[in-house]
Chains A and B, each alone.
Chain A
Amino acid sequence: NAGVTQTPKFQVLKTGQSMTLQCAQDMNHNSMYWYRQDPGMGLRLIYYSASEGTTDKGEVPNGYNVSRLNKREFSLRLESAAPSQTSVYFCASSEPPSGGPVTTDNEQFFGPGTRLTVL
């Protein structure tokens, strides 16, 4: 069981370049998330996918797009990278608590992160 995997681990881009961050989970979770982590600001939600086939904006979606390719995979795309997107990006997945209300969240399992620098 690898849990949540992310590729690449590190990436350097020039302003205006595009790239896709890949995320996969092997826990059969329905929900997946993309966060960015900046110093002194905790984690901020970029996009999430409550289930296969659905995606929704989080707190800071501007400049990003996502694709929920299948139940396992959730990718994050930067179409035209900007220095403000320099950050550490984390993917996570979760499953609603068994038998619990659908309006509550549950433990999120995080990947190891991708450190992105945009010059």
Chain B
Amino acid sequence: GENVEQHPSTLSVQEGDSAVIKCTYSDSASNYFPWYKQELGKGPQLIIDIRSNVGEKKDQRIAVTLNKTAKHFSLHITETQPEDSAVYFCAASMKTGGFKTIFGAGTRLFVKA
């Protein structure tokens, strides 16, 4: 069945360094790719998203790139700060013939001060 693979499962960086999380998806009909951040004891919260008609999107220190041909997308966080420490989830979504959102397994990011 359809799936989203996310790597790495754990990432540890020094404050100020960059962090990159990568995801691949299997359903070529997917057209919406959100990234969520989940802090301990809370529900996930959207940090950035990208649609299939766009290759790259940036919001301050966060950027996402999408390669539809290769069916992969990546999250880039620059100048990381301790408050960036959390679990990050990618997802691939489509609503043709029903609704389907498939989440990756998550990446636990540690930013060391």
Residues of A contacting B6 with CB < 8 Å?
Answer: 42
Least CB distance, A43 to chain B, in whole angstroms:
4
CB–CB B43/A112 < 8 A: yes
Residue of A nearest to B96 (CB): A103
Residue picked from B98, B99, B106, most chain A C-beta under 10 Å: B99
Quick one: given A4-B43, A112-B42, A112-B43, are A41 and B99 in contact (CB under 8 Å)?
no
Q: List residues of chain B with CB within 8 A of the CB of A103.
A: 31, 94-96
Chain A residues lying within 8 Å of B91, measured Cβ to Cβ, are 43
In the bound complex, what is the Cα–Cα distance between A42 and B98 (angstroms)? Answer: 21
Q: Is the CB of A107 within 8 A of B95?
A: no
> Using an 8 Å CB-CB cutoff, how does the interface string of B36-50 with A read, 1 for contact, 0 for none?
100001111110010
The contact size tier of chain A is: 20 to 34
Which residues of B line the A interface, CB within 8 A?
4, 6, 9, 31-32, 34, 36, 41-46, 49, 51, 89, 91, 93-96, 98-106
Which segment, of A14-22, A44-52, A61-69, A75-83, faces chain B? A44-52
Contact B99 A50 (CB under 8 A): yes
B49 touching A107, Cβ below 8 Å: yes
* Sample of 13 more A-B contacts, CB < 8 Å, known A105-B32, A105-B95: A41-B105, A43-B89, A59-B100, A104-B31, A104-B51, A105-B99, A107-B46, A107-B49, A108-B34, A108-B46, A110-B36, A113-B41, A113-B42
Q: Are B95 and A102 in contact (CB under 8 A)?
A: yes
